[in-house]
Structure 1
Amino acid sequence: MALLENIQDLHPAFLETLQHRFLDEARIEALRGFLHRGFPTRRDEEYKYTNLREITEKNFNFFPKEEHTLLKETIDELHLGEENFDWIVFVNGKLRKELSKISIENTELLSFNYALNDPNHKDVFDEYFNTIADADLAFTNLNAAYCKHGFFLKVPKNVVIEKPIHVFYLSQNQDENTFYNTRNLLVVESGARVEIIESHHNFDDTYVLTNSVTEIFAHPNAKADWHKLQNDSNTSFLRDHTFAKQQRDSQTTVNTFSFGGKLVRNNLDFIQEGENIYSFMNGITIIGDEQLVDHHTAVHHNTPNCESYQNYKGIYKGQSHGVFNGKVFVAKEAQKTNAYQQNNNVLLSEGATIDTKPQLEIFADDVKCSHGCTVGQLDEDALFYLRARGISKKEAQAMLLFAFANDAMQNIDIEALRVKLSKLLAEKLEVDMAFEDIFEG
C-alpha cells in the first residue's frame, strides 16, 4: 500500500521540518503504534460499515505547497458575518494573518505549529497535549506522529470571549492529492467561555485527506461550544476525532453539521470527571450521490449527578450511506446520571442506506438513561396536507424535512449560523426557500 509505505518512509523528513524537537520521542512512538495497527478495515467492528479502501489505495503528498492564489473576496463568501465574528484562516496548512481577523485580547490564540515550536509553551503541551486522545486508535496515533497544522487556544480564568471564532482550513493550488494532519488544542480555564466554528474547504480537483484531532479541556464552571460545519466537495475525505474532558459544573457542546464530502468520519469522545457536568452532542446530516457520513459518539459518565444529550438527524438521497453508532458508558460510581440519546433518519431514495446502532453500558443502579433510533420516509399524510394548500411537492417535502432537522439546531445561539444552516438545507433540498422566515412566521 503506497500510502502506508509513505507514512513510514517520510516521517524522518517530516521531523526535519520542525524547529523544536521536544516531541520527537512521542511522535516516533505514535508512528510505531499506527504501523502496528494499520488502517482500520471493515473487519474492525468500529469500521464495519465504512470502507476506507478508496482512501488507503490513493497516493497523497505529505508536504503541501504553501503558495496559493485565493483572493480575499473568496474568503469573504465563506464568512457568516464580519462584524460579530473573529476568524483565523489556514491555507495549505499555514496560518494566513492577512486573511484573518482577531480582536480578542489577553488570550493565547496561536497556530499549532508556532506554539509547538515555542519553548515557552512546552509546559502547556506537557500538561495537555495528547493526554486524552486515545492512543489505541490508529488515526489518532497517525495524527500525533505527523501533526503540525491547526491552532492552540487557551482562554484564561473567568474570561468570556464575546465573539465566536470561525476557523477555516482551506486547501488550494495543489497539483497532487494532499494529506493534512490537523491538530487543535483548546483549554478553557475555570469560569471562562468560548465558542468555535470549524470549516474545511478544498478548492482543487485533486483529493484532500484531512485527519483532524481536537482536544478540549473544560475546567470547573467553564463553557465551550464547538460547531463543525462540514460542506466540502466530493474530492474531500475527512476523518475527525474530538475528545472533550470536562471538570465539575462545566458545559461542553459539539454540534456537527455534515452537508458534503466524499467520505466523512466523525468521532466524539466526552469524558466527565466531576459532578454537575452537562455534555451536548447534536448533528444534522444531509447528503446524496455516493457520499458517506459516519458518526461515532461516546460519553463516559465517570462521576455522579451529570447529564448528557445526543440528538442526531439524517437525511439521505441518491446512493448515499449514513452510519450512526452512539455509546453511553455509565460507571458504577456515576449515580444520578441522566443520559439521553436519539438518532432519527429519513431515506429519500431507494438507493440510500443507514446503519444505526445506539448502545448503553450501565453499571450504576440509580440512573435515567434512554436511547432510540428511527429509519423511515416522509409522512404521507403531512405531505398531502401541505399539497392540499397549494404548496408544490418539492417545497412541501422540504418544509417537512426542515421541521424534522430543526430541533437539532435549537441550542445554537449564533443567529448567523442558524441562517447559514437553513440556507444550506434549502440548497441541498434543491428549493429556493427561506426556512427561517417561514417557521418564525
Structure 2
Amino acid sequence: MLQEQVLEQHTAFLASLGHRFLDHKRKEALSKFKEQGFPKKKNEEYKYTSLAEIVNKEYNFFPTQEHHISKSQLQSLHLGEENIDFIIFINGEVYPELSQISIENAEFLSINYALNDEKRRGVFEKYFDSITHEDNPFVSLNLAYCKYGFFLHVPKDTVIEKPIHLFYLSHNQQENTFYNVRNLLVAESGAKVEIIESHHNLDESFAFTNSITEIFVHSNAKADWHKLQNDSDTAYMVDSTYVEQQRDSVGTVNTFSFGGKLVRNNLDFIHKGENINSFMNGITILNKAQLVDHHTAVHHNFPNCESYQNYKGVFAGKSHGVFNGKVFVDKIAQKTNAYQQNNNVLLSEGATVDTKPQLEIFADDVKCSHGCTVGQLDEEALFYLRARGISKNEAEALLLYAFAHDAMQNIDIEALKLKISKLLAEKLDVDIEF
C-alpha cells in the first residue's frame, strides 16, 4: 500500500514545495525507488527483519500543522538541565519560539530554509546527498520526499560549546503519518560539535519516520551524534546515517534503543584520511514484540586508523534483536586497528537475537577482532550477589545494568549520560540513586 502511495503522491508533494531546484533529482530518486521497491526478507540485508507491518499500511504524506503540545509536555522530554540548546520540530515544521539556540559563529539553518534560500545554499549543495548509498531504497525515497530536518555548518576552528538536542515530535495526527527527515552536519577543520537526536510519536495512530543523516568531519575536527530512541509502540523508524571523516578526526555515533515498534538503524563510516578514530556504541533494551535491527559498516580506506564498535542488547518478551556489523579494510589501509563486539542477554524464551559480525581484510599488517555472544546472565555472579542478601530480581537487574552500562563510556555529555542511566534503571526495574 505504501509503495503505491509513494508513486501516486509525488506530483502533489512537488507542487506543495516553495522551491524547484531539486525537482530533477527528486524525480530521478522516485524512479530509482520504483525500480528498487521496499526491501523484502529475500534481500540478504533484511533477511531477519520484515518490513511488511510498515509497508502494508496507508499513511498521510501531508501532516496537519495544528498541535496542542504544552510547554510542560516538552519539558518532560528534556534531559533535565539548562546547558543544552534544543530545536523543536513538530509535525515536520521547526518552531523557533519553542527552541533555544545560543550558537555564535556558526551557520544554523533548517533543511527547509536551506532548500528555499538561494543566497545561502552553497555549502548545502556541496555536501547534500554526496555520501549516501544509491543501493539503499530508503535513500531514494527520502530524496524524493525530504522537506524537513536539521542543517548545521560549523566553520573552521569553531567549538560549539553547548550540545544541541533535536526533538522530532508527531502530534494531533488523526491518520498514520509518513515523515522523511533529513539531517546534514558539516564540521570544518578543527571544529567541535555534539548533537542529540530523539523522535517522539504522541498519537495513537502510527508514525513512520524515514530519516537520512549525513555527517562530514574534516581534519582535526570532532563530531558526536547521539541517537536516543525511546518512542511508543505506534512508532516505526528506518534511520540511515553516513559519516565521512578526514585525517586526524574523531567521529562518534551512539545509538540507544529503548522503544519503538520497529527500528532499523543503518550506519556507515567512510575514512578519507589517516589517523582517524571512529566510535560506534549501542544499547538496546526491548520487551513485548519490539524489533531493533542495527546494521553497521566501517570502510577503512587509509592507513593508521582505528574503529571501535560495542553493542549491548537485553531482550525480554517476544522481542527481536538484529546486529550485522561489517568492517572493510582496503589493501593500502595498513596499521588498521578495528574492534567489533556484540553481546546480548535473553530474558525470556520468546526473545530472539540474530547477530553476524563480518570482516573483509585486504591488508596484512592490521589488528582486527570481532565477537558476539548470546546467552543468559552469569549464574556465578548472580549467586555472589544473592549470597550477600540481595533478592534475585534485584541481583538480575544490577547485573543487567552493569552489562549495558559498559557501552556508555565515551558519552561526554553528563546530562545525557544521566538520562541513559535513568532509562536503563527504569527499563530494568532496578532502584539506583543518581
Q: TM-score, normalised by structure 2?
A: 0.99
Q: C-alpha separation between the residues in 2 aligned to 1:74 and 1:249? A: 42
**Cα distance per residue 1:308-361 (max 9 Å; x no partner):** 000000000000000000000001111111100000000000100000000000
Query: What corresponds to 1:157 in structure 2?
Result: 156
Deviation at 1:416, TM superposition (A): 1.0
Seq. identity, % = 71
Partner of 2:395: 396
Aligned to 2:77, the other structure's residue is in SS state: coil
> How much has 1:125 moved relative to structure 2?
2.8
Q: Within 5 Å, which residues of 2 pair with 1:274-353? A: 274-353=273-352
Q: Distance in 2 between matches of 1:185 and 1:366?
A: 35
Separation (CA, whole Å) in 1 of partners of 2:210 and 2:118: 26
Gaps of 5+ in 2: none
Distance, in Å, in 2 between the alignment partners of 1:134 and 1:83 is 38
In the other structure, the counterpart of 1:48 is: 47
Matched, 1:253 2:252: yes
Tell me whether 244-253 or 422-431 shows the greater mean CA deviation.
Answer: 422-431
* CA distance in structure 2 between the partners assigned to 1:120 and 1:243 by the alignment: 27
| Contact persistence 2:301–2:330 (CA under 8 A) | yes
2-structure distance, mates of 1:258, 1:392: 28
Residue 316 of structure 1 aligns with an amino acid whose one-letter code is: F
Separation of aligned partners in 2, 1:21 and 1:218: 29
Aligned pairs (5 A) from 1:348-367: 348-367=347-366
Task: Give the 3-state SS of the residue equivalent to 1:256 in structure 2.
Answer: strand
Could you tell me which residue of structure 1 aligns to residue 272 of structure 2? 273
Question: What's the offset of the Cα at 1:20?
Answer: 1.4
Q: How far off is 1:173 after superposition?
A: 0.2
Residues 1:75 and 2:74 are matched in the alignment = yes
Deviation at 1:432, TM superposition (A): 3.1
Cα distance in structure 1, aligned partners of 2:421 and 2:14: 44
- Cα distance in 2 for partners of 1:50, 1:203 equals 25
Q: Secondary structure at the match of 2:3?
A: helix
SS at match of 2:16: coil
Offset at residue 108 of structure 1 (A): 1.3
Show the counterpart of 1:234. 233
1:418, CA displacement in angstroms? 1.1
What is the identity, as a one-letter code, of the residue corresponding to 1:418? K
Instruction: Note if contact 2:310-2:407 (Cα within 8 Å) is conserved in structure 1.
Output: yes
Q: Secondary structure at the match of 1:15?
A: helix
Deviations 1:279-310 (A, max 9, x none): 00000000000000000000000111111000
Length, aligned pairs only: 434
State the 1:223 CA deviation.
0.3
1:408-419 equivalences under 5 Å are 408-419=407-418
Give, in whole Å, the separation in 2 of the partners of 1:363 and 1:54: 40
SS of the residue aligned with 1:28? helix
Q: Within 2, Cα distance between the matches of 1:379 and 1:302?
A: 39
Query: Residue 211 of structure 1 aligns with which residue?
Result: 210
1:204-228 Cα distance to aligned partner (Å, 9 max, x none) = 0000000000000001111000000
Deviation at residue 385 of structure 1 after TM alignment: 1.3
- Cα distance in 1 between the residues matched to 2:168 and 2:219: 30
CA distance, structure 2, for counterparts of residue 120 and residue 292 of structure 1: 43
- In 2, distance between residues paired with 1:120 and 1:337? 42
Q: Distance in 2 between matches of 1:368 and 1:235?
A: 43
SS at match of 2:203: coil
1:348 and 1:194 map into 2 onto residues whose CA distance is 38
For each residue in 1:406-439, what CA deviation from the matched residue of structure 2 results, as whole angstroms up to 9, or x when unmatched?
A: 11000011111111111111111123333xx4xx
Q: Separation in 2 of the partners of 1:41 and 1:79?
A: 37
Q: TM-score w.r.t. structure 1 length?
A: 0.97
SS at structure 1 position matched to 2:258: strand
User: Which of 108-117 and 43-52 deviates more?
Assistant: 108-117
Structure 1 unaligned blocks of 5 or more: none
**Structure 1 counterpart of 2:206, one-letter code:** Y
Deviation at 1:126, TM superposition (A): 2.5
Q: 2: distance between equivalents of 1:220 and 1:82?
A: 32
Distance 2:432 2:319 in 1: 24
> Are residue 425 (structure 1) and residue 424 (structure 2) matched?
yes
Partner of 2:32: 33
For 1:262 and 1:432, how far apart are their aligned partners in 2? 26
Decide which moves more: 306-315 or 420-429: 420-429
Q: Separation in 2 of the partners of 1:313 and 1:165?
A: 25
Q: Deviations over 1:86-137 (max 9, x none)?
A: 0000000000112110011121111111111111233223210100011111
User: Aligned to 1:281, what secondary structure does the other structure show?
Assistant: strand
Secondary structure, counterpart of 1:228 in structure 2: strand
- Distance in 2, matches of 1:135 and 1:145, equals 13
Partner of 1:120: 119
User: Aligned Cα RMSD in Å?
Assistant: 0.8
Shift of residue 185, structure 1, vs aligned partner: 0.3
Query: Which amino acid in structure 2 is aligned with residue 24 of structure 1?
Result: D
